[in-house]
Amino acid sequence: MPIAKKPVVPGLHPDPSVCRAGSEFYLVNSSFEYAPGVPIFRSGDLRHWSPIGHVLDRPDQLELAGCRHSGGVYAPTLRYHRERFWMITTNVHDQPGQVLVTATDPAGAWSRPIRVPDADGIDPDLAWDDAGTCWLTWSGELPKGRQGIIQAVLDTETGALLTEPAVIWRGTGGQFPEGPHLIRRGSTWYLFIAEGGTERGHAVTVARGPRPDGPFEPCPDNPLLTARGSAWSTQSTGHADVVQRPDGSWAMVFLGVRLRGSALCWHVLGRETFAAELDWEDGWPRLGEPIEGDAAGPVVEELTGPGLPHAWVAPARFPADLLRYTPEGHWHLTSPSHEEVFVGRRQQHFFISAQARVDPGAGRAGVELRIDPFHRVTLSVEGDQVRVTASIGGVQAVLGETTVTAPPVLELRTRPSEGAEGTPCQGPDLIVAGVREATGFRELGRLDGRYLSTEVAGGFTGRMIGLVGADAAVRSFVYRGSDDLTDLDD
Ligand code: 6LW
């Protein structure tokens, strides 16, 4: 069965977890070093997802100070049980253990966190049996450096484990058995896990048992889902969660990446959320028809005010500490430490144009496209100088510069790769920076997009686009995005 070509939630949205309350579906994702954490979406059809906020949107729920790139919040689980929403996740920056929050309204407010300090590992899952017992299942280290799926009964009031953690499955032999989700269908319990690593070997495997704690029997047709060894443009598929519709049919969400460029080598938008039907045969789940996403744009998002769009986040800090809406009616970027800070949103489309007008107080300020502090392209203004710089690993380069007589409109774009299709020089895209003038766009510098790809940068995240600086009035910021270049005017 082929896999969808288009995600249902594009851009950096990996490790999806899904649940249903009545006729509505809700979805959460990992958020790593970014605050607020754990973006949450609502959908009536599993195909069109609207952001409704973040689960961890207050400092008392999310400690990220000094968080390293790709640290922070890993794979969450979202469940609806006894008219409450439950979200549990691991903040690897704030250990020990897992963090559990609940809400009656999934758009917030979510509770103060209950910690589960004795569950050592990542990717926690919650499941309740008919007796009301809560089974916590996660991925942890076993003796001799091996990894496996571990389980214990959880007291959801206190976060205490009520049973000794026990290994319930080791998967089918792929590395990193993780991302467990335990689901009941009829009287059988199904344990879906990810294995093979989150890169090209990624897969979903499944086992079933008569009770939430097993014993688990692996499906004879594992893996349930993988793209490994295929020539599909959607690769690295794995880490799935499943949900039943009101009509009794099932669907699954999972992560995947969209590869572009020579030999389909590169992805730049991070691991995205994809969806598919889930069929059942002989008591085993089977991958069904792809559910193709249609969030390809065009999208226009303007930073107006006074509220920040849901999509805006910052590494290791809450955006509210960095961007303030002033009584004069514009945003102001302030760095509490006087060091340059970044605040922005995920690049969610293949082709984007981000335009900004900023008035820096001290130092430089501007627009930045980045994966992390060591992989970024910055278009900034300082006095009458406009400069395009790239920082890739330890290398810093000035890609172009000019002098301006009036405050410029900065514009950073992604465009098709310069390399001929199918040749080794074809990157995923091209990053172009310049200024917008009355006569049109004037390019100042460009960089091959592969420098800002996960294949080069590594880590679990993807590109972000936003504002950079230590002190600047932000007169305007507009994100335009589409997977179809003709949607973006020149
Ligand atoms: C997550 C693990 C994974 O905890 O990547 O793809 C890790 N799977 O399950 C971080 O996203």
DSSP string covering 360-422: ESSS-EEEEEEEETTEEEEEEEETTEEEEEEEETTEEEEEEEEE-SS--EEEEEEE--SSPTT
Secondary structure element (H or E) that encloses residue 454, with its range: helix 454-457
User: Ligand 1 centre from 15 Cα, in Å?
Assistant: 6
Name the residue of 31, 198, 199 whose CB sits within 8 Å of the most ligand 1 atoms, as the mutation to test its pocket.
198
d(CA 164, CA 464): 42
Angstrom distance (rounded) from CA 57 to CA 37: 6
Task: Find out whether the beta carbon of 91 lies less than 6 Å from any atom of ligand 1.
Answer: no
What's the Cα-to-Cα distance from 464 to each of 51, 172, 350, 452, 468, rounded to whole Å?
Answer: 17, 35, 12, 10, 11
* pLDDT for res 124: 98
CA distances from 303 to 41, 156, 309, 344 (A): 21, 40, 7, 10
What's the 66 CA to ligand 1 centre distance in angstroms?
A: 21
Instruction: Find out whether the beta carbon of 149 lies less than 6 Å from any atom of ligand 1.
Output: no
Q: 428 alpha carbon to ligand 1 midpoint, in Å?
A: 24
Residue carrying structure tokens 């769009």 = 309
* Residue nearest atom 6 of ligand 1, based on CA coordinates: 198
Regarding pTM above 0.95, the answer is yes
> Cα torsion for 38, 39, 43, 49, to the nearest 10°?
-140
Does any ligand 1 atom lie closer than 6 A to the CB of residue 14? yes
Residue nearest to atom 10 of ligand 1 (CA): 74
* Nearest partner of 371 among 261, 476, 449, judged by Cα: 449
Is the C-beta atom of 179 inside 6 A of ligand 1?
yes
Concatenated DSSP letters for 247-311? TS-EEEEEEEEE-BTGGG-B--S-SEEEEEEEEEETTEEEEEEEE-------EEEE--SSSPPTT
Distance from the alpha carbon of residue 410 to the mean position of ligand 1, in angstroms: 36
The finding on whether 168 has its CB within 6 A of some atom of ligand 1 is: no
CA-14 nearest atom, ligand 1: 11
Q: What are the chain's domains?
A: 17-291 (2.115.10.20), 299-487 (2.60.120.200)
Distance from C-alpha of 205 to C-alpha of 485, rounded to nearest angstrom:
37
Tokens of 196: 């093979």
Nearest protein CA to atom 9 of ligand 1, as residue: 179
Bridge partners, residue 290, by sequence? 276
The complex scores an ipTM of 0.93
Q: Is 147 in the pocket of ligand 1 (CB under 6 A)?
A: no
30 Cβ below 6 A of ligand 1: yes
* Cα(387) to centroid(ligand 1), Å: 37
d(CA 462, CA 33): 12
Q: How far is the CA of 332 from the centre of ligand 1 (A)?
A: 35
Catalytic residue list: 15, 178
Partners of residue 50 on adjacent β-strands: 42
* Rounded Cα–Cα distance for residues 150 and 158 (Å): 20
What is the pLDDT, as a whole number, of residue 425? 85
CA distance 359 to 345: 21
CA separation for the pair 175, 225 (Å, rounded): 16
Q: Which residues of the chain have pLDDT under 50?
A: none
pLDDT at 48: 98
